[in-house]
Amino acid sequence: MDVAERKRIVATDMAIPDDLARKTADAGNGGYVVRPIAQLTDAEKKEVVVLVLLKNRMVTPELFQEMPNVKLLQSISAGVDFIDVASIPPQVTLCSNAGAYKDPIAEHVFGMILYFGKNLARNHERLRNGVFEGSTDGIFLREKTIGIIGAGGIGQSVARVAKGFNMRTIGINTSGRPVENFDAVWKMERLDDLLRQADVVVISLPLTNHTRNLIDAQKLGLMKEGCILVNVARGAIIVQDALYAHLKAHPRFKAGIDVWWRYPKSGEGFSQDYPFFELPNFLASPHNSDGVPEALGHGQEHAFSNVIRYLDGMPLERVVDKADYVGIRRPSGH
């Protein structure tokens, strides 16, 4: 690009569709162009005003030294706890991509709920071993209560699916304001009430300095004996040793976990500090609740729609309070 054109740059570390690049370039009266970070010259880096990043590890002090005029950092990730927010200058606004992957994640949540509620694994194993034996201890979801901790994008999609099963939906958010598809929405102060009432608990809120270790032994003890707990948020929201002890002591309690306390580094195998996989009331997936071919495209559209809002002078969505993440401990392996 001829810097003399004075087109400011939206830089990204991803390949994006041509039509999305054109749509972005048409915003802001055509004063912008979308460019891959890897192709920028030193002079062009000074023209970058927006960064759209898939790789969280790129966020370093050096990045902003090279690109001193950045005003917006838009993450492709729904959660931003993996980003080193201390590296981000005060003048740079950070936006998450919360809600971008909500629908496939909601499907995954109910895959885990139905796996436990309908005893799919146990019945399969019985049949495989020649035992043709039914039971009546499955869970009829109709009129059961699902408590969703985090009534944002993912939580709203989970509630919508739950309504298809005629479930009662209770959510937790910071304001307590009503949200579509929820029968009730409470502030965090009523978390204990939700945990006591819910037949299914879904965790779908961000990991921040306020939510780390939110679900500890005391909170687990409030839940029903046969509760199904599903975590598609971040591992560290649940106290790991407390969950393992609770699953061992309460065999009717079940947990579906997609997010982890420790992630494997490149070349390593996956392992955890407790032998969860020996427990029959435990189900796991490798942080891929959004693992469908369409996910990246949806995530890019969602992220760049916010960038376009910025370029057109409209209020940004999903703005992150960086103070919530200062000093946050990220899982090993990330």
Alpha helices in 135-239 (DSSP H): 153-164, 191-197, 217-222
Q: What is the pLDDT of residues 130-154, one digit of tens each?
A: 999 988 999 999 999 999 999 999 9
At the fourth CATH level, which superfamily is domain 3-99+295-324?
Answer: NAD(P)-binding Rossmann-like Domain (3.40.50.720)
Spatial CB neighbours of 206, under 8 Å, sequence gap ≥ 6: 79, 80, 81, 96, 98, 150, 233, 234, 324
Residue 135, pLDDT score: 87
Is a pLDDT exceeding 50 seen at residue 41?
A: yes
Cα distance between residue 112 and residue 132, in whole Å = 24
- Do 3-99+295-324 and 102-284 share a fold? yes
Q: What is the pLDDT of residues 188-230, one digit of tens each?
A: 999 999 999 999 999 999 999 999 999 999 999 999 999 999 9
What count of other Cβ atoms lies within 10 Å of the Cβ of residue 168? Answer: 18
Q: Spell out the CATH class of 102-284.
A: alpha beta
Cα distance between residue 317 and residue 16, in whole Å = 21
Strand order in the sheet with 254-257: 184-186, 168-172, 145-149, 200-203, 228-231, 254-257, 282-284
Residue 203, pLDDT score: 98
Q: Are 19 and 302 in contact (CB under 8 A)?
A: no
Cα distance between residue 61 and residue 87, in whole Å = 5
Q: What is the pLDDT of residues 76-125, one digit of tens each?
A: 999 999 999 999 999 999 999 999 999 999 999 999 999 999 999 999 99
Where in the chain are the domains?
A: 3-99+295-324, 102-284
Spatial CB neighbours of 269, under 8 Å, sequence gap ≥ 6: none
Is a pLDDT exceeding 50 seen at residue 1?
A: no
Please report which confidence band the pLDDT of residue 2 belongs to, taking 50, 70 and 90 as the band edges: very low
Residue 134, pLDDT score: 85
